[in-house]
Every structure is written in structure tokens, then in C-alpha cells.
């Protein structure tokens, strides 16, 4: 991937640059920050994270599995030693249903995070600077080889303290 | 000094990038183990080995080496199981519930509290197995297909317990790890050689890009939202181990909220017990301030009052129900064999925390630490009085008896504390004790206020 990586000391400069870059015709952007910054990531990728759907899907699966497990296993040995209560006594089973809802929901949430947050990025192989985990911010602009000089000229003006061509 | 000031790190006028780097330096500095550290680790392992030896005697000779006799078949082991599960709960309260309430002061203590949760559940999980006469058959608790198509009884609270505690351990461990990923990247970028390679894998190649943070934040929020009802369900299920049985002193509808409040109460005390020495030894007083400790003390007051109210309600139930068996149990708690423990419990759990109503006292770390130790003792005693005290006075007078734990039981209890301390020591010198990303975020917000987007979300 061709492009320019700008390094910023000031977050506000980066926010401004992120807002202006699409106007210059560069739309393939990525921002780097040392902490979760909602304004930044909304600019990079607007909209809500799809991880929430994984949570829902996982939770529903867990709940159904809980019901299936308790009811099916009870029917495997249908002895009425339940003190007059029905064989399939839902109130106690609901405890299992609840716990499995949470368990599957949480594991699915993490799977969603690993897929969208981690795996998808591993295949993009963007450049990285170890200062991003310290205190600096970064802006990656993807562009064609001919455009790099133009991007560098522009990124200088936005307040980047350093820039690297990739 | 206002609350807000006392919680934020001292004002710093340098550019943000430099201040963020200082956070990294201050926390990474704590990761240099000295000789004392290894001595302490070795000591914990020795005490744990002693416990393993005691347990091996119990496995060899049977439960006769314990003090457990009919009618008191649940004693120190089950008490300690409940105690450690309870300790875990405040970690989730601080990391998940306060996160959902946007109590940003939690950032400084959340990592240590989360670690405490994971290790406390790992400690608690030992006890149901230790308590078994034939521990090698523990897998009978799990629903697995077997030749006789015999399944577990899902009507039994003990099976609920397996599911609740198992889920709790898995979810807390996962929650702890996900929160740790960005900080592992900091460790990766600040280390060299094989350490760097380990952290690179552990941090999953984290780069801090906007897309990563976006899905990270979403996942963290939903994990917190799942952990919140989970933590309440776990101690409710633990309380139903007792409340579902018809033992007088156990069979009560208030048990679930009563136990959840007690769990959070004891866990908050444990947070203070651990953090007060840790912040001094690790020189993190600028980050974990007296203001943070004070907030924990304030939450202790609230949970202590709920617990005291539950004690009174129990006594009221016994009196008002006119049930002679209930009345006998509660009378024997106050004046019988278990009376010294009962009054110790009242002193530690109901009276001592009242001192936190005085600002000067709850900002004094020596007093905070002392009372937190008292609460730990008090909460263990509470469970002991409830569990063994009720069994000792069950219905027929002919079967009344008393109980005191044997040397084997005390050794195993001590070993469990060593096991917990061992894991916590490993954590404190190998992983950042503060959530670096969150501390940086709170520094930023302290200086600039919430971003326009966050204001939009909040309104």
C-alpha cells in the first residue's frame, strides 16, 4: 500500500487534518491515537460498530442452547421425582439459560472484536510508529505514487511534526 | 481541595504527548522486580505447597481430618469459597458497573480490581473441589454424555453454581484481557528481545488505529453490559446454594440481594487492602490518590449499611414469623457457641465502617487499611456464622452440635490466600497496574472536557 504517514503531537491538529483530507480528494484514511477517541474513530469510519450484532447473536444462541440443554437432558431420563412439579420446570432452568446467554454473548462479542478490530487489520498491513502507543497521534493517507509529494506538502501545513513516505 | 482535583493527577502544563509519555514511564518503572519480590513469591509458593500437602493428607485419609461432622457438613471450605467469590465482585463493580455509569475516577483502580476479580475466582474455584471427599470425581458436576445417559440435575443450585462461577471466570478473564490489549502494545513498544516478541503476540499486533479503537470500545462496552447482570446473578446463585435448602437460618428470600451486597462490601475492602500497600510500594501515589481511596470508602459505607439492614431484617423475620426453628438459630447466633463470632461480625461489618462517615478518617490511609482488614475478617466470619451456625442448630435438638475447623482446614485456607497473593504479585510486576490508555484518556478529558460527539451521546 502506498501512502504517507504523518505524526502529530497535538490531537486538535490531527482532527482538523482528518476533516480536511477528504476535501483534498484523499479518502482512504486511518488515524492512530494512544487512547480511544470517539471523535477520531467516527471520522475514520462513521457509523456504529457491527460488534453489537455479534453480542446479540451470541446471547440469543446461548439462551437457546441453555433451553435445549436443560429440556433435552431432562427428557432423556424422564423420572417424575420432582415433588409434584412438572418434569420441565422452567424457573430453575432459567438460571442455566441466563448464564449461557451471558457466556455466549461475551464470547461472541470478543470474537467480533477479534474479527473486525484485529484480523481485518492484520491483512491491511498499515505502517506503524511505536510512538503511537506512547503519546503521539498519527494520520495515514493512502495515495498513488505520483501524489505522495503533494500529500507531504499538505500534511506539513496541517501541523504534523514528522512524515514518512511508504 | 475539591473531589475532582484530588482525583486528577497534579496539574501539568506540558504538551499532552509529553504527559502521556510520563504516564507510560511512571507505570513501566513499576515493572522492575527486585530481590524482595522474588523472596515474597517464593514465600507464597511455600505456603501454597504446605496447603497442597495438607490437602494430600485429606485425600489420603478422607474428610475425617477436617472438623466436619454431622450435622455441620459445610464448614470452613464452603465459607471460604463464598468469601473469595465475594471478593471477586467488587472488581466487576469497579470495572463494569462504574464504567457504565461513566464514573471516570474508576480508571486508576480498575485494572488492579479486574485482576483481583480473576484471581479471586481462581481461588474460589479450588474450594468446591477441595471440599469433595473424592475430588477426582469433580467432573460429575458437568453435563457430559455418558454410558447411562445420566445427566446432571438442573434443579439443583449446586449445578447452577457450576454454570454461574464457570461463566463468571470466563467472562472476567476475557474482559480483563480485552482491556489489557492496548497496554500490552505499550509494553511491546518499550521492550526488546524475547519479551518484545511475547508482548507482540499477546497484544495481537495492536496499533492504536481508529478502526481498532472503534471495535475495541464497542466490545468493551458490551462486555461491561454483560458483566453487570452476570455479577449480580453469580452471588445470587451462590446464595441460593443455601436459601433453596430448608435449613433454618438459610431458607430466606432476602438471601440473593443480601449476599450480593455483602460480596461487594467485602470486595471493596479487599481493593483497599491491596491498593494501599501497592500504591506505596510501586510509588503510584500520583495516580491512585487518597481521593480514589476515599471514593471506595464511601461505597463501603453504602454497602455496609445495606448489609447491616439485611442482618436486622433477618432477625426481624425470625421474630415476626414466630417460627421456633428460625428463632432458635438466630438466638444461638447471638448467645450460643457462635456468639463471639457473631459479635465480631457486627463489630467489623456494621460498626467499624461507620467511622468512614468522618472525612478525616476516610482520608487517612492507616485507618482505611486497618478497617479494610477488619471488614475482610468480618465478612469471612459472617459467612461462617451463616453456614456452619445454621447447620449446627438444625431442627431436632438431638442432632445439634458445634464445629470448629481443623489444622488441615486452616492450612488450606492460608494456602488459598497465598495462591491469590502469588497471582497478584505476578500481575503487579509483569503487567501495568494502571490501565494506561484509560489514564491518558482521562488526562485528555480533564484538560479539554468531553468531545462534541461525547456530549451528544450524553445528552
In this structure, the answer to whether residues A10 and A61 fall within a common structural domain is no
Which CATH architecture fits B19-458? Answer: Up-down Bundle (1.20)
CA B246, CA B267: separation in Å to the nearest integer? 28
Q: Do A33 and A15 share a structural domain?
A: yes
Tell me if B220 sits within 8 A of B212, measured CB to CB.
no
- Residue of B38 and B2 predicted with greater confidence: B38
- The residues near B425 (Cβ < 8 Å, ≥ 6 apart) are B37, B40, B41, B44
CATH of the domain at A154: 3.30.70
Rounded to whole angstroms, the Cα distance separating B240 from B252 reads: 9
Residue B215 to residue A113, Cβ atoms within 8 A: yes
For chain A, first and last CA: distance in Å? Answer: 8
One DSSP character per residue, B102-144 reads T-GGGHHHHHHHHHHHHHHHHHHTHHHHHT-SSGGGGGGGS--
Give B149's DSSP letter. Answer: -
Is the CB of B205 less than 8 angstroms away from the CB of A121? yes
Strand order in the sheet with A3-8: A29-32, A137-142, A3-8, A162-165
Judged by CB atoms closer than 8 Å, whether chains meet at B440 and A135 is answered as: yes
Of B452, B219, B458, give the one whose Cα is nearest residue A49: B219
- Per the prediction, chain B carries an average pLDDT of 90
Contacts of A21 in chain B (CB under 8 A): none
Selection from B237, A96, A101, B140 nearest residue A88 by Cα: A96
A114 and A55 in a common domain: yes
pLDDT attached to residue A97: 97
Interface test with B, best of A18, A19, A31, A41 (most B CBs within 10 A): A41
Q: For residue B20, give the nearest of A55, A73, A134 by CB distance.
A: A134
| Tens of pLDDT, residues B11-30 | 555 677 788 888 888 888 88
Total residues found in chain B within this entry: 459
Residues forming a β-bridge with A5: A140, A164
| Residue B1 confidence class, pLDDT cut points 50, 70, 90 | very low
- Which position has the grid cell 460429575? B140
Judge if A68 and A93 occupy the same domain.
yes
CB B110 within 8 A of CB B433: no
B253 three-class SS: coil
Residues A23, A43: one domain? Answer: yes
> What three-state secondary structure class fits B2?
coil
Find the DSSP H helices in B16-97. 16-28, 35-61, 76-92
Sequence-separated (6 or more) residues with CB below 8 Å from residue B428: B30, B112, B278, B282
My answer on whether A72 and A59 are in the same domain is yes
Indicate if the alpha-carbon torsion angle B276, B279, B285, B287 is positive or negative: negative
The verdict on A107 and A154 lying in the same domain is no
The residue among A6, A35, A123, A130 with the most chain B CBs within 10 A of its CB, best to mutate, is A35
Tell me whether strands A29-32 and A137-142 are parallel, antiparallel or unpaired. Answer: antiparallel
CA B276, B279, B284: angle at the middle one, nearest 5? 150
- Kindly state whether B361 is in contact with chain A, defined as any CB-CB distance less than 8 angstroms: no
Task: Give φ, ψ of B132 to 5 degrees.
Answer: -75, 140
Would you say the C-alpha torsion A131, A137, A142, A143 has a positive or negative sign?
A: negative
- Beta-carbon separation of B216 and A69 below 8 A: no
* Chain B residues within 8 A of A135 when measuring between CB atoms: 16-21, 23-24, 440
Chain A residues touching residue B219 (CB < 8 angstroms): 49, 51, 109-110, 112-113, 117
Chains A, B: CB contacts within 8 A come to 211
Are the Cβ atoms of B233 and A89 closer than 8 angstroms?
no
Domain carrying residue A26: 3-47+125-165
pLDDT at B439: 87
What is the distance in angstroms between the Cα of B161 and the nearest Cα belonging to chain A?
A: 9
- State residue B2's pLDDT score: 42
Residue of A30, A105, A112 with shortest CB distance to B209:
A30
Residue A135, min C-alpha distance to chain B (Å): 4
What is the Cβ-side half-sphere exposure of residue B134, based on CA atoms within 13 angstroms? 4
- Residues B121, B270 contacting (CB under 8 angstroms): no
Terminal C-alpha separation, chain B: 29
Quote the DSSP letter at residue A25: T
Residues A63 and A116 in one domain: yes
B142–chain A Cβ distance below 8 A for any pair: no
pLDDT tens by residue, A27-77: 889 999 999 998 899 999 889 999 999 999 999 999 999 999 999 999 988
What pLDDT digit, counting tens, does each position of B36-71 carry?
899 999 999 999 999 999 999 999 999 999 999 989
Q: Are residues A140 and A114 in the same domain?
A: no
pLDDT category of residue B452 using cuts at 50, 70 and 90 = very low
How many structural domains is chain A composed of? Answer: 2
Give the pLDDT mean for A146-166.
88
Kindly state the DSSP code that residue B192 receives in the 8-state scheme: -
**Do you find a cis peptide bond into B101, omega within 30 degrees of 0?**
no
Q: CB neighbours of A65 closer than 8 A, spacing ≥ 6? A: A100, A104
Which of A121, A139, A156 is at the close of a domain? A121
Amino acid at each position: 500500500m502506498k501512502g504517507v504517514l504523518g505524526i502529530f503531537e497535538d490531537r486538535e491538529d490531527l482532527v482538523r487534518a482528518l476533516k480536511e483530507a477528504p476535501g483534498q480528494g484523499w479518502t482512504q484514511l486511518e488515524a492512530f491515537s494512544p487512547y480511544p477517541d470517539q471523535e477520531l474513530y467516527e471520522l475514520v469510519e462513521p457509523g456504529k460498530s457491527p460488534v453489537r450484532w455479534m453480542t446479540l447473536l451470541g446471547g440469543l444462541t446461548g439462551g437457546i442452547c441453555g433451553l435445549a440443554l436443560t429440556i433435552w437432558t431432562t427428557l432423556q431420563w424422564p423420572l417424575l421425582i420432582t415433588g409434584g412439579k412438572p418434569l420441565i420446570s422452567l424457573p430453575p432452568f432459567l438460571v442455566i439459560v441466563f448464564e449461557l446467554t451471558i457466556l455466549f454473548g461475551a464470547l461472541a462479542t470478543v470474537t467480533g472484536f477479534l474479527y473486525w478490530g484485529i484480523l481485518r487489520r492484520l491483512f491491511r498491513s498499515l505502517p506503524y510508529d511505536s510512538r503511537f502507543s506512547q503519546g503521539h497521534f498519527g494520520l495515514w493517507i493512502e495515495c498513488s505514487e505520483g501524489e505522495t509529494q503533494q500529500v507531504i506538502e499538505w500534511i506539513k501545513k496541517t501541523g504534523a511534526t514528522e512524515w514518512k513516505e511508504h | 481541595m475539591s473531589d475532582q482535583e484530588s482525583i486528577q493527577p497534579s496539574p501539568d502544563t506540558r504538551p499532552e504527548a509529553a504527559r502521556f509519555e510520563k504516564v507510560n514511564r511512571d507505570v513501566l518503572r513499576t515493572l522492575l522486580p527486585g530481590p524482595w519480590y522474588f523472596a515474597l513469591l517464593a514465600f507464597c509458593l511455600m505456603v501454597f505447597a504446605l496447603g497442597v500437602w495438607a490437602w494430600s493428607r485429606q485425600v489420603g485419609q478422607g474428610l475425617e481430618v477436617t472438623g466436619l461432622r454431622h450435622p455441620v457438613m459445610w464448614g470452613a471450605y464452603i465459607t471460604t469459597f463464598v468469601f473469595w467469590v465475594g471478593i471477586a465482585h467488587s472488581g466487576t463493580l469497579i470495572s463494569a458497573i462504574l464504567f457504565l455509569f461513566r464514573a471516570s475516577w474508576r480508571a486508576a483502580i480498575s485494572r488492579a480490581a479486574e485482576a483481583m476479580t480473576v484471581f479471586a475466582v481462581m481461588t474460589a474455584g479450588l474450594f468446591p473441589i477441595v471440599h469433595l471427599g473424592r475430588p477426582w470425581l469433580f467432573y460429575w458436576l458437568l453435563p457430559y454424555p455418558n454410558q447411562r445417559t445420566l445427566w446432571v440435575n438442573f434443579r439443583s443450585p449446586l449445578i447452577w453454581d457450576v454454570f454461574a462461577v464457570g461463566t463468571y471466570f470466563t467472562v472476567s478473564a476475557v474482559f480483563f484481557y480485552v482491556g489489557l490489549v492496548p497496554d500490552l502494545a505499550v509494553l511491546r513498544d518499550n521492550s526488546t528481545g524475547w519479551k518484545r516478541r511475547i508482548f507482540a503476540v499477546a497484544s495481537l499486533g495492536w496499533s492504536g488505529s481508529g478502526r481498532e479503537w472503534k471495535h475495541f470500545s464497542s466490545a468493551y462496552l458490551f462486555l461491561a453490559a454483560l458483566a453487570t447482570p452476570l455479577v449480580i446473578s453469580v452471588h445470587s446463585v451462590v446464595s441460593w446454594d443455601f436459601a433453596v435448602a430448608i435449613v433454618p437460618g438459610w431458607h430466606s428470600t432476602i438471601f440473593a440481594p443480601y449476599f450480593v451486597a455483602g460480596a461487594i462490601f467485602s470486595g471493596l475492602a479487599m481493593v483497599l487492602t491491596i491498593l494501599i500497600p501497592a500504591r506505596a510500594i510501586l510509588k503510584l501515589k500520583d495516580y491512585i490518590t487518597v481521593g480514589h481511596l476515599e471514593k471506595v470508602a464511601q461505597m463501603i459505607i453504602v454497602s455496609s449499611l445495606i448489609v447491616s439492614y439485611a442482618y436486622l431484617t433477618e432477625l426481624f423475620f425470625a421474630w415476626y414469623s414466630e417460627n421456633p426453628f428460625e428463632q432458635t438459630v438466630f438466638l444461638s447466633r447471638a448467645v450460643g457457641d457462635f456468639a463471639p463470632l457473631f459479635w465480631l461480625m457486627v463489630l467489623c461489618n456494621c460498626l467499624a465502617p461507620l467511622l468512614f462517615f468522618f472525612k478525616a478518617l476516610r482520608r487517612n490511609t492507616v485507618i482505611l487499611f486497618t478497617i479494610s482488614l477488619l471488614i475482610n475478617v468480618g465478612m469471612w466470619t459472617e459467612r461462617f456464622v451463616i453456614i456452619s451456625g445454621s447447620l449446627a442448630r438444625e431442627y431436632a435438638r438431638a442432632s445439634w452440635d458445634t464445629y470448629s475447623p481443623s489444622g488441615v482446614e486452616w492450612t488450606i485456607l492460608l494456602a488459598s490466600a497465598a495462591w491469590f497473593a502469588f497471582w497478584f504479585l505476578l500481575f503487579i510486576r509483569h503487567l501495568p497496574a494502571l490501565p494506561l490508555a484509560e489514564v491518558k484518556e482521562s488526562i485528555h478529558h480533564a484538560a479539554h472536557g468531553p468531545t462534541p460527539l461525547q456530549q451528544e451521546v450524553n445528552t
